[in-house]
Structure 1
Amino acid sequence: MDFTNPLVYGVPCFIAFILLELTYSKTHGDDHLYEWKDLFASGFMGVGSAILGPLFKIIFAIVLFEYTYEFFNPEGIDGIRRNILGYESFSYAWYVWLFCQFADDFTYYWFHRANHEIRVLWAAHIVHHSSDNFNLGTAVRNGWFTILYKPLFYMWMPAIGFPPEMVIVCLGIEALWQFQLHSVYIPKLGFLEKIFNTHTMHQVHHAQNIEYLDKNHGGFLNIFDKMFGTWKELDDSINVKYGVIHAPNSYNPMVILTHEYKDIWKDVKKSKKLSHKLMYIFGPPGWSHDGSTLTVKQQQEEFRKEKERNPELVFSRPN
């Protein structure tokens, strides 16, 4: 079967909704929701992703997924594909689509969480968090290097029998959901908040407040965040500060794309031990051999102790 990636239709919708939100913000007194230089930088990132995405999708995703699917699900002499574990490979039935989307969401959670907890992956993903603004323009501010390794996280899906086209469509649907989460104009959604990853939860994810760091990695659902201890509800008493602790402080796209890689290189060079060098690359962001910088968990532990000493503390902003 031949399926069209939903993102083909999503791109013009992205542009339309960004323009709609931009117009609404400017006509309703939210002049600081969008900043022109920041929007142009985000737009440049988005255009680059739109150009590079299809090219690398063919090389890395389609070819990789097809090869994996063919290898683990060979076609028998009766024309039926069976997984090497013995069962018949999955069909295109409606319920299989639901299972595939659920599997995609589970994979997205761990892919997204890894981008926050492994520094070399964070160097690619920090691009998306580098804006101090939270809007639909930020939604398209994507790093270009994540497409080189993202398919590797999803290889298990065609391996167990999901058709590659189905996996790619589910990835596209996930991306559409993620785009629309980047808006401050959608309030809390009542009972839906118990199951789905919503706009206010994604505001938490984009905040640099210490208690919000590395929270809410989910795609459609928030159940995996709740299962694995990374869920956090938006607290109306906290003044949210968006962006990252170590921002590039530049609107230059090349600086935005590469600044964290340069910082990794500096840290690797200053350390003499191989184990330290590897930790600066593959350890959590903020790790240091001398304690000069702290990981998110270390910062949150210090903040917890500070709140115990000062219970009235309701706002935090990283140094």
Structure 2
Amino acid sequence: MEFTNPLVYGVPCFIAFILLELTYSKTHGHDDLYVWKDLMASGIMGIGSAILGPLIKVTVLIVVFEFTYEFFNPVVDGVRTNIMGYKSFGYAWYVWLLCQLADDFTYYWFHRANHEVRILWAAHIVHHSSDNFNLGTAVRNGWFTLLYKPFFYMWMPAIGFPVEMVVVCLAIESFWQFQLHSLYVPKMGWIEKIFNTHTMHQVHHSQNVEYLDKNHGGFLNIFDKMFGTWKELDDDVEVKFGVIHAPNSYNPIVILTHEFKDIWADVKKAKKFSHKLMYIFGPPGWSHDGSTMTVKQQQRLFKEEKMRNPEAVFSRPN
């Protein structure tokens, strides 16, 4: 498979737009938008991903995707045919649209799983660990997600989408996700009825209780609306970015590993094997003794308190 991943061309664009937003923020009185140590930490995360990305492409994308595609779509009498009996997909324009839609559907569940399964959250929390929301945060990606993300997408080459088409659609998704991390783009009217926009992604990066685990979509918001995870930004709510249990460090190693360390501590203290499994594969915040709460438990408590006192202004739980 000989083709160039579009993300190769995206890296200099990402850097250019980060510098542009940084310059704009510093020249327009928004000095708190970027914190230098935080930006450096995000930059190191991004550089690491850029270095590891090509390695993962060779060892996972090509091997796994190509093997899957060839196994489920063998050439029969000179025609590539899916094992279910139909001709494998070609490169017509509508196939590209279907592939992009399939990519967005997959991205939704991949992203949602990263928030709802603790061992995956340990890898993904890197992206949410900054208290700042800017284009620098967009490249603050966990390195471990590269190891398992392709396996969520294996079904696409399996049903007949060409491998290079899947990889291009993945890159398009990444471009869209990058530009969502800006506070300078306001609500966009009717566009927000269809697409995942900047204000929706602000909700996703918020640690406000009512906003937790919302808006997992890629470039569309239809799957969030279908599966009950969509939330519009409320102009009356002051957004606090980041995570409730932050690493409190600019050290890249700490940022990458702190949640894995916490998982290990919880597993060691658990007496029952079932509890150990829940600390690994259960939702973040789950505890056998109720000492910590999951997002759903926090939101249930938040709703109960708001119903008892609707005029109060609630903050996030400690």
Residues 237, 314 of structure 1: 8 Å contact kept = no
Alignment map for 1:204-223 (pairs within 5 Å):
204-223=203-222
Describe how 1:295-310 pairs up with structure 2 within 5 A.
Answer: 295-310=294-309
Asked if the contact 1:188/1:200 (under 8 Å) is kept, the reply is yes
Deviates more, 1:59-68 or 1:105-114: 59-68
**TM, length-normalised to structure 2:** 0.99
Are 1:35 and 2:24 counterparts?
A: no
Distance in structure 1 (CA, Å) of the matches to 2:31 and 2:253? 27
Instruction: Tell whether 2:187 aligns with 1:188.
Output: yes
Deviation at 1:314, TM superposition (A): 4.1
Match of 1:268 in 2: 267
- Offset at 1:70? 0.2
For residue 125 of structure 1, give the secondary structure of its aligned residue in structure 2: helix
- Measure, in 1, the Cα distance between the counterparts of 2:62 and 2:315: 44
For each residue in 1:84-136, what CA deviation from the matched residue of structure 2 results, as whole angstroms up to 9, or x when unmatched?
00000000111100000000000000000000000000000000000000000
Q: Once the two structures are superposed, what CA deviation does each residue of 1:178-216 show, in whole Å capped at 9, x if it has no partner?
A: 000000000011100000000000000000000000000
CA distance in 2 between partners of 1:276 and 1:68 (Å): 35
Q: What are structure 2's unaligned runs of at least 5 residues? A: none
Instruction: Return the alpha-carbon distance in structure 2 between the equivalents of residues 168 and 318 of structure 1.
Output: 40
TM-score, normalised to structure 1's length? 0.98
1:62 offset after TM fit, Å?
1.5
- Displacement of 1:313 in angstroms is 3.0
Please say if residues 204 and 212 of structure 1, whose CA atoms lie closer than 8 Å, have aligned partners that are also in contact.
Answer: yes
4+ long deviations beyond 6 Å: none
| Alignment of structure 1 residues 126-145 onto 2, 5 Å | 126-145=125-144
Alignment of 1:69-218 (within 5 A): 69-77=69-77, 79-218=78-217
Q: Provide, for residues 37-89 of structure 1, a one-character-per-residue CA deviation record: whole Å limited to 9, x for no partner.
A: 00000000000000001101110112100000000000012x11000000000
Aligned to 1:252: 251
Q: CA deviation at 1:312?
A: 1.4
| Residue in 2 that maps onto 1:24 | 24
Equivalent residue number for residue 65 of structure 1? 65
Aligned-partner Cα distance in 2 for 1:121–1:37: 26
Cross-structure match for 1:4: 4
| Counterpart position of 1:289 | 288
- Is the Cα–Cα contact under 8 Å of residues 241 and 317 in structure 1 kept in the other structure? no
CA distance in 1, matches of 2:313, 2:236: 7
- Quick one: distance in 2 between partners of 1:138 and 1:312? 34
Q: Aligned partners of 1:314 and 1:27: how far apart in 2?
A: 34
When residues 314 and 237 of structure 1 are mapped into structure 2, their CA distance, relative to the original with a 3 A threshold, is farther
- The structural deviation recorded for 1:3 is 3.8
Report the 3-state secondary structure (helix = DSSP H, G, I; strand = E; otherwise coil) of the residue aligned with 2:196. coil
The Cα offsets for residues 130-176 of structure 1, whole Å up to 9 and x where unpaired, read as: 00000000000000000100000000000000000000000001000
Shift of 1:6: 1.4
After superposition, the CA RMSD in angstroms is 0.8
Query: How far 1:317 sits from its partner (Å)?
Result: 2.3
In structure 2, what is the equivalent of residue 14 of structure 1?
A: 14
Tell me if structure 2 keeps the 8 A contact 1:216–1:232.
yes
How many angstroms apart in 2 are the aligned matches of 1:234 and 1:168? 32
Helix, strand or coil at the partner of 2:184: coil
Task: State the one-letter code of the partner of 2:245.
Answer: H
Letter in 2 for 1:180: Q
Q: Is this contact kept in 2: 1:208–1:318, CA < 8 A? A: no
Give the structure 1 partner of residue 278 of structure 2: 279
Residue identity over aligned pairs, in percent, reads 82
Structure-1 separation of matches of 2:93 and 2:4: 17
Instruction: State the number of aligned residues.
Output: 318
